[in-house]
A and B are shown apart, each in its own frame.
Chain A
């Protein structure tokens, strides 16, 4: 079976020929599909390949296996009921009702910003995080990182105790030594990231007042320094743009993934979605231009997408500024065809105040300054964008200076506060050695990181759900970070650590309250709301004419390297999070690995194929990693993701992927030009879920332009069969109608126009439904367990014959809950049957694991427990008496064992909870009372769930939209989940 695991090479010329040969709307999911590689065929023919077949057995073994199965079949069901204990409280806490969850508002600090959350706790243990509706940067939705953050709380790899040179020590020992060393130290350094906590900022200042020779060193691997710098150039002081896409009619996103990964994206996605809903009445769509070196989820929704090298973005913006009248010199006009420039310029000028120009964090300060100039000229400042005073990110010293100081001995005490520069910087190796010279070095972090290994002390940090703190969001909105549990391990809050070092011990709550001197009533309101009523950041005035430097393109010799945070593990902070590691990344659907992403053309010229290990050299440094072809990448751009190749920090993190930080430097954290890419001749195995669960080229995604929509509002392709007529049945529908009569009928609608494939729903589902992590090896075999997946389709783009810049459509697929479910009649034990509410029920205790249902499912949404994934968790738990990961499980959802099939249930636990509460009040469930986990997490509200038998429910209204279509409707499965065809709004004046 081994041969199927090695990936075969791709014949790129052949792929190009095939892509050129395709007529009309032909969508493809992977290059392997286009090339019809044996590997793809294998996944097509067999949903779960690489398993033993009975046909491979000889007669003797067959009889042995069958005999044993027969003998044991009956016995496996026999057991005496286990004895169980009930342990009551001594004093029952007032607010806890056993069996009922409690909810608390808190916030998750992340990369210098924060998102407001509502944490759900069951009997005192937090099990799920949701967005906080009253928080302006969540609006009730969330993203992958906040959804997965709960796993870190129970991560058995977290640091549990203070360590001194690898030996278990105590906080008292550390504090005693620190109090001895710090007053006599020649130079003290505190290394911190972009801190979102005003209390920590205050404490850092106090620390410096007590230790005048202390300096703050900022280290944030994915920083917004360029954005702040750009504002400084244009406006004279550091500022951050805060956009309002609800007012935008034309959006130009320059390497800005404002819908999925930029700070504020959760709110931005909601605002943008508001301008993209199309129905009979509302046919005015906003238009999104996307110019980016590497495809992003934002690029998926773009009406015009132009792949342009990172080095050219400044020149591009200069030309936009020139055309908008904000600059006198033209820029790099050769980057786009004449009609593109004219169309874009006309759109921007006519939109005026309703135009938005978003520039990504990786763009140069000059690019940001140009964007400010353009928006000032267009008059959109104050409407689609505001510039707010950035919270002071004070840094007394750069990391390189710290290294020199440590080496020279000018600094002899260094404390890393949740910063890991030994891994996450280009200076890592030198820094690691230099730390050894310090008299006192300590690393305070959630995990024992690479920096912790270099320091003499490791100090375990609490998770944000165990600690009091406060956090600013993008526009300065303050939330109080409220703990839900006592610290699980011997941790100390950073807000206690710094006072302890200053010889005035204090509690974190007292410290946070000291920052916000308010009375108890106000404080309680803040905690309850999750948002503090304090003024937000001040808005800066922007003059009508802003002078920006002239933007220039840089020449790309050979290749250019674009370095970006990973879409799932970010800068490496989340590398030990199994949910995020196994989350298929947008576009590539890679799991557990990063890759050297190459464009189609680059792969062709280098003659590399997916999985070939290549060496990327930038300047004097080089890294090696497996190649992956990513259509949509600018031709000579090599995309690399941070966050992998961890050398410490937990069993999940270590060993996955390769480290890209050696290619970064303080001055160019986002890559650079003049890179070389060479084949090494080695091959690596990557686990991509792209080919898994394929539905083989039927009428799956429907997409069309606004013009096509007006002509044909259903966007049904001419050749498509469409939904099967309802009367084509031997049985009367009468029986089915009677079954459903008077009972609420659940259904779902997913608007493809709003989905950008951010994955928030996938992680939310994983957290809600106790979905296990299976590991890289199992993913390669197509055994990932996600109940909802995001299918990514590439499509043709007019004028792009090469396949270098395809269009993209993403489609979330969960169980369709078919009314005529093909899985049901094939189950020999009736383990999957229909409920009167229209749910396709999966009964785990009846399932004997034949997998016939999965075989017969046209949507490929059923998942089989090949191994005891859940119970294997205990192997990860160091202390047998604290099964940490078990604490995470949702008690309202069965934990599935080996050998049973499972799939999306429409979050039936939430339906049942709502039904019981409604019935107790003597009524039915009202519209909106049941919100599925995926729906709740979705930032753009693309997923709507409800009662389809009620014509007034939101889901019914949405399903009446003409764009509504049933996936594979011609099979007469009558799915309850339907999709709304995607409508793009390209500028008719632009010839692609």
Chain B
């Protein structure tokens, strides 16, 4: 990587600068236990393929305020659930020329969709890299004879939430070798590309500066184990690609589209940076 402050330098500089305001802040030392029964692994050992880029993995949950973290600890307080339940209902609604529902082919969502979020995105039988949204739309158009949902439509988010919940508490475990390797390499290259008039890469914020503050924002490692998640600032559910669009746009760049091949590849690479963190099922962020 390019010249930058090492974490220890930042810590030392911050210690000297105390009194001036913000300082490097540790991720909050807290444990995510949902509904008083499901313990979610929100920190994990960094996987070998990161080659030391991060000393340890932290979910973005550790970088948010107390109130925000708490909202995720009880499904009744978690604003995702209104939408997630609509997704669960939709699971058994028959649609399209075939008049079939998801349940007609897949049965009980709790069984058939268990672990699915943890391995997405993945290479399909035809050799293409697909995100969960692609698999959903493939079923809708080819098996149900129904219309595809738009990537960031509420219907799509409701369904990805419902499916992601079935992997809650299971570790992220995407395949990055074999047929996935070329996609992963391209995603990695993108992660380190400095986009836009501000010339910033994902790594500039989420690898070099996690723990630091950009104005009021406490920078996390930009992990995607909690997606789709509810963002209080947007008062709505945010998809993985939607977040990527926002982060690229904020570098004063021409962004890529949600559902683009570039973002599928980036999604695979970013997912692999979180390997070992548990799927949160339905995260809450500010």
B is a partner of A? no
